Structure 1
Amino acid sequence: MSMTIPGSEVYSSRPLSPEQLQRFIPDTLRMHTVTQEQIDAVDALTYEVIRHRLWSVTEEMGEALKRMSGSPIVTDANDFDFAIGDEYGQEVQVGLYNTMLVGAVDLAVYWTLQHRATNPGIAEGDMFLCNDPWVGGGLHQNDVIVYQPVFHDGQLFAWTSAICHEPDLGGVGLGSFSPAAQDIFSESLPTPPVKVVRDFELQDDIADLWTRRSRVPMLVGLDLRAKIGANNVGRTRLHEVIERYGADTVKAVMKRMMADSESRLRAKLTDLPDGTWKATGYQDQSHEGDRSLHKITLAMTKAGDHLTFDFTGTDPQAGVINCTYAGMRGGVMLALLPILANDIPWSAGGLMRCFDLVAEEGTINNATFPAAVSRGPIGPAWLTGTLVAECLSQMLDRSVDLGKSVQASCCGTWDTAVIAGLDERGTVPVPFLNILMEPMAGGYGARPTVDGMDTGGLFCIPMGRIPDTEMSEFLYPMLVLWRREEADSGGPGRQRGGVSASLAMTPLGTSVPMGLVFASAGKAVSQNNGLAGGYPGNTGLDVLVRDVNVLDRFKDGVMPVGLDEIGGRIEIGQNYSQSYVAPGEVLYMHWQGGGGYGDPLSREPQAVVDDLRTGKISPEAAEKSYGVRVDAAGLLDAHATEELRRAVRDERRARSVVDDAVAGYPVLDVARGRRIDDNLVQVPGDDGGVGLVACAHCGQQLADSAHDDRLRLAAFDGAPAEAGPQVTSDHANYVDDEVVFRQYCCPGCWTALYTSIVPVGHPDHARSIALLAG
């Protein structure tokens, strides 16, 4: 006899529709529905009032969770989210917290309706708990969702959910991150949906079973009750809205909210050009000991009012850098919500009707059971979102009205460091575990008209915060030497990428080494690319300072403010590794900033001087990256700057290989051209196709669609360090693949059109003219 492993089914395309789900729902489970006539009958004022009431319900759920949880992940970092769904779980209203989770919450409800409606059944007063990434709800096992059906007059009316990242749920590695894992059995085991609340009562056996798995059971148990409490708030407030306005009216508003978001997004898409845009990104290393690059590739096609995200060609699942379909979908939502739907209410159930996902099973962003997926949301899902953002931005850059939403890549990934050990500051030593949340202060990508926000947060958590240093030192046996913004971490560009920050800490209040787990990416190749010639932000760097006791420096009256002042031996932290930090040693983390937009030689010189004065860039970057010189008083030297920028362009000319075909191309009148991005215009041709492509600055023709399949550019491959001082790590420390600084320039005026740090075999998406169609 064979049986299906719960949760092993992989969503390979669009999830089940309400009509398909209805086949699995027994007659005893009655659903509250409304007709289209009832939806259309709701007046505009009532619609807006109820819509905002539902929004306030999710906000109150969030406040309830934050007040009940004791975890800094929730209380400080805001790594959680909420949703209200209709009777089928389609997301009507989501929170403004971790937006990646938006792509996974409804999947858990669909699965529950399909597999739990008959046995053990879905009843009033139930709540389900799940941390199975193949089922949904979250993107990896540490994302734990508690969700409930809400009934009205005996009918299933809605669902509410509360989800947050738990600090540890067992497994081999600290914080449930096992850098060496090759399958899920080395990680925290996934739990398919199970009733944790029956008839409004917490089930002690399930709660005990759940908390038993964790290294920090009291914290996990508190979070469990906090999520139950948040759902209780959601149910109570939802019933109050129903009582005030009537069940049919509230449900009609819920359905209309999704329909309105869908129609508004479709209208926006209709106004944009059809075409296909491509992007490829990399995970450097897949597990402890690996030295390979693993790619995710995307072809985004926009046709009419619909998007298709095709990830065909992505590398097979490997190590710990995998996510399930829920993670891939969450990555798409990470980018789509702020870039394409930033002026549309986030009724995700409607927005997700506007796109399809195509992905081969068994790949790193559509992994099959039992792949290791602990790195899922902050590895492949995040990279998926970065690639989607890159494609969406290239599409939007062609629109005068929507170009303001264009944004270069943000900080690229989450730099994970988990520390655990023995806190000996009290009368009785107690174990502790802490995920260092400082990398919340990532740099945002630049936009065509503004610089990226410095230490502005994470793209996926709009309301994220970093913890208070004093509180971290109060809770854990550690001393923070510094936490500060770092110069040159923002990608150079006409608009600069937002800078990131660094943290240096040492154990204090413990006599034994702390265990340490690293899980990161973006150290060998760029994960924070710029746009339109803008440079990528910094590569990440984690190090351990060995053979030193930094506390001795304090005794000498010295407070170190840099690694060079600490002494000792530098040990490079790999992307994935298990290590330790002994008393007196120092853990240093420098995470990633945002990518730049446009050629940095086009940046207003005085803006460069201001950045230099405020410590956003170094003198080296001012000259090498921006071509700006200052005098002895720190003021702009306009004449020297003009000469230096001319010299930088001459250097680009000398080092680049020019496509021979461009020699026969003329200079065009670009005044009648249509914008492609900051540097390119499309000039109508006689063939009715793409026509001619020219440099927006000098008019040099770069392609003729009748004869060319790519832009005729000047190309350069050099050592990554040639990108500038933002390259803080040597790729040879992490991977065996050859990695280069790649730049394409206009062969007429030598403006940078594309800049990145990529492996030698990186595909030439930037030179393709197929993406310009439409």
Structure 2
Amino acid sequence: MTKHDPVTFDIIQNALEAIADEMFVAQRKASMSAIIYEVLDLSSSILDPVGDIAAAGAGIPAFIGVLDKAVKGILKKFPLETVKPGDLYASNDPYYGGVTHLNDMVLAAPVFAEGKLVAWVANIAHWNDVGGNVPGSMSSDATEIFQEGVRIPAVKLFDQGVANQAVFDILYVNTRLPDFLKGDLWAGIAGLRIGERRVLELIEKYGAETYLAAVVDYMDLGEKRVLAALKQLPAGTYDYSEEQDDGAVHKLRLVISPEKFTVDLRGNPAQSGSKNSSREGSEIALQLAFKNFTDPEGPGNGGCFRPLEVITEPGTIFHVVEPGALGYYSEVEIRLFDMTLRALAHHFGGVVPAGNFASICGTVMGGKHPDTGRHYTIVEPQIGGWGGWEGHDGNSGQFSGFHGETFNCPAEIAEARYGMYVDQVALNSEPGGEGQWRGGKGIEVHYRVRGDNNFLSLGYTRSRIPPWGAAGGLDGSLNYVELVRTDGRRERYSFATNVVVNTNDVIRIVTANGGGYGDPALRTPEMVAQDIKNGYLTVERAREVYGPLADGAHSA
């Protein structure tokens, strides 16, 4: 076998990361929907010939973990020998490699060089509407996937470079927002084409053999780093269970050895409604927690997940079986991600911060635009407070670690594009999360409706059981939406579908403050005083939590 230069390997490996990022930027810039170009609800990856992640671009970590499973789903339907240059595949169906829910469209294309398949390029993005029984295609009332929108079960959009117009037509007609869907679809195709071009340029420079060897080396590096981290952990079996908002108890068993990290999810509640995750989606949630705990700085490729084993039970919320609905899969996965971190915090003290707001807080609003008369739909995940940890207050107004480095939609964009006013964007002033190191603050956003017969749908967890405090810190606050009617009535929601909202009704979105870390009595008077000054803490709450510290802080 040819001996390869490690410096060349390093150049190729870093180039792959840069290419994946360029794919991400190309798709973002060309997209029509603010959920993609502002919120960055997308991800991109380069994969090896059999569908393992070689390099991941920017975007939502939970999405990056979709793309290897999606490509393997494509290859299950289309054997490797049938894949040809110029093919391009689409899948949004969780039962055919789509993994998440029908709003998330995966696009993937093979890359051929020197007469052989050398890579796949793939991306995924959230589309605002793909049909189904409600605008936005996410319903907490859904009981079957058929109610959630059009299913694209790993099909060819392009066959050896020739567009399959029938599939395009099916997509365009099964949405309330055809112009936006068309723009977002072609933006995804553009991202794949730039990725393919850059990979071919890399292979032209270094050759296919060297390129493929560099990919194998990169994955081996990911595995070596994680195994080194596992060897530092005490081997054993660790059980944990946690009550959820609806009273159900979720549980897991961790079995840790120097060679393997096993998560057993058997014995969890039966699948129910639209709050289910695919087996692959549950694996992604555990991949993220596993990587955060073992090697957060290492490469995020297929190699680093080789020591992770996930055991599920079909027919449960963590392994839905057809035709179960998955519209709010994200709330199931983020609960699993958070519970895994909490289990690790319980068994390995001082390693994991206190609990964060830990919900996607998916909010869907829309109706007839008062200025244009056209249908509009806002799809907004929300930001919230992170937990405090040793030596640091929690971060305020951030997406969860599960959601990654994404952004909230600016008020100016929301008002310009959608039929609502944004009356307020502020940090959550509610109590909760106090400690030696306080939890970060959630947010309070007020949307004011500009027309009649608009709609509101949402799915929030941590609406009854708050983010957990650690090492003596206090629990945080809750996620919820309060609808303030023009006659003064107030309605509080955590899950709801198609609630009618009318002119000047205010949709008040509140996300949780993270949990506190450490005994509140150990917080310094200066820090308590600063919290009061910043509006994070009232004098009354300071006296309740901090006692004599509060009086000193207030007088200061």
Aligned partner of 2:262 in structure 1 is 308
C-alpha contact (below 8 Å) 2:376/2:418 kept by paired residues: yes
CA distance in 2, matches of 1:351, 1:123: 29
Aligned partner of 2:500 in structure 1 is 580
> What is the CA-CA distance between 1:127 and the residue it aligns to?
0.7
Aligned partner of 2:342 in structure 1 is 390
Mapping for residues 492-511 of structure 1, pairs under 5 Å: 492-508=434-450, 510=451
Mapping for residues 718-729 of structure 1, pairs under 5 Å: none
Match of 2:356 among 410, 421, 425: 410
Alignment pair present for 1:431 and 2:388: no
Aligned partner of 1:103 in structure 2 is 65
C-alpha contact (below 8 Å) 2:441/2:514 kept by paired residues: yes
C-alpha contact (below 8 Å) 2:114/2:208 kept by paired residues: no
TM value normalised by structure 2: 0.95
Whichever of the two has the greater Rg, that structure is 1
Query: SS of the counterpart of 2:94?
Result: coil
CA distance in 1, matches of 2:156, 2:264: 36
**CA RMSD of the aligned region, Å?**
2.0
> What is the CA-CA distance between 1:396 and the residue it aligns to?
4.9
CA distance in 2, matches of 1:63, 1:50: 20
Query: SS of the counterpart of 1:174?
Result: coil
> What is the CA-CA distance between 1:160 and the residue it aligns to?
0.9
Match of 1:202 among 139, 163, 167: 163
CA distance in 1, matches of 2:340, 2:550: 39
Aligned partner of 2:89 in structure 1 is 128
> What is the CA-CA distance between 1:339 and the residue it aligns to?
3.7
Match of 1:454 among 384, 396, 399: 396
CA distance in 2, matches of 1:621, 1:307: 43
Alignment pair present for 1:249 and 2:218: no
Describe the superposition over 1:211-235 as per-residue Cα deviations: whole angstroms up to 9, x where unpaired: 2111111111111111110000100
CA distance in 1, matches of 2:189, 2:133: 28
Alignment pair present for 1:274 and 2:235: yes
Alignment pair present for 1:367 and 2:367: no
Unaligned runs of 5+ in 1: 1-36, 285-291, 549-567, 637-774
Identity %: 28
Count of matched residue pairs: 556
CA distance in 2, matches of 1:343, 1:279: 26
Describe the superposition over 1:554-575 as per-residue Cα deviations: whole angstroms up to 9, x where unpaired: xxxxxxxxxxxxxx11112242
C-alpha contact (below 8 Å) 1:323/1:367 kept by paired residues: yes
C-alpha contact (below 8 Å) 2:485/2:505 kept by paired residues: yes
C-alpha contact (below 8 Å) 1:42/1:249 kept by paired residues: yes
Match of 2:484 among 529, 534, 545: 545
**Alpha carbons of structure 1 residues 336 and 621: separation in structure 2 relative to 1, 3 Å:** farther
CA distance in 1, matches of 2:80, 2:469: 51
> What is the CA-CA distance between 1:43 and the residue it aligns to?
2.7
Alignment pair present for 1:353 and 2:315: no
Deviates more, 1:334-343 or 1:306-315: 334-343
Describe the superposition over 1:193-214 as per-residue Cα deviations: whole angstroms up to 9, x where unpaired: 0001222343322111112111
**Alpha carbons of structure 1 residues 397 and 632: separation in structure 2 relative to 1, 3 Å:** closer
Deviates more, 1:247-256 or 1:447-456: 447-456
C-alpha contact (below 8 Å) 2:360/2:403 kept by paired residues: no
> What is the CA-CA distance between 1:628 and the residue it aligns to?
4.9
Aligned partner of 1:444 in structure 2 is 386
Query: SS of the counterpart of 2:59?
Result: coil
CA distance in 2, matches of 1:193, 1:199: 16
Alignment pair present for 1:62 and 2:37: no
**Alpha carbons of structure 1 residues 102 and 46: separation in structure 2 relative to 1, 3 Å:** same
Aligned partner of 1:517 in structure 2 is 457
> What is the CA-CA distance between 1:530 and the residue it aligns to?
2.6
> What is the CA-CA distance between 1:306 and the residue it aligns to?
1.6
Unaligned runs of 5+ in 2: none
> What is the CA-CA distance between 1:433 and the residue it aligns to?
1.1
Aligned partner of 1:533 in structure 2 is 472
Describe the superposition over 1:225-248 as per-residue Cα deviations: whole angstroms up to 9, x where unpaired: 111100001000000111111111
CA distance in 2, matches of 1:361, 1:628: 54
C-alpha contact (below 8 Å) 2:539/2:554 kept by paired residues: no
CA distance in 1, matches of 2:266, 2:520: 34
**Alpha carbons of structure 1 residues 252 and 95: separation in structure 2 relative to 1, 3 Å:** same
C-alpha contact (below 8 Å) 2:435/2:473 kept by paired residues: yes
Alignment pair present for 1:188 and 2:128: no
Aligned partner of 1:91 in structure 2 is 53
CA distance in 2, matches of 1:96, 1:281: 32
Describe the superposition over 1:506-558 as per-residue Cα deviations: whole angstroms up to 9, x where unpaired: 122x3x221111222221223x223233333211121111243xxxxxxxxxx
One-letter amino acid matched to 1:607 = M
One-letter amino acid matched to 1:422 = K
Query: SS of the counterpart of 1:264?
Result: helix
One-letter amino acid matched to 2:190 = G
Aligned partner of 1:344 in structure 2 is 298
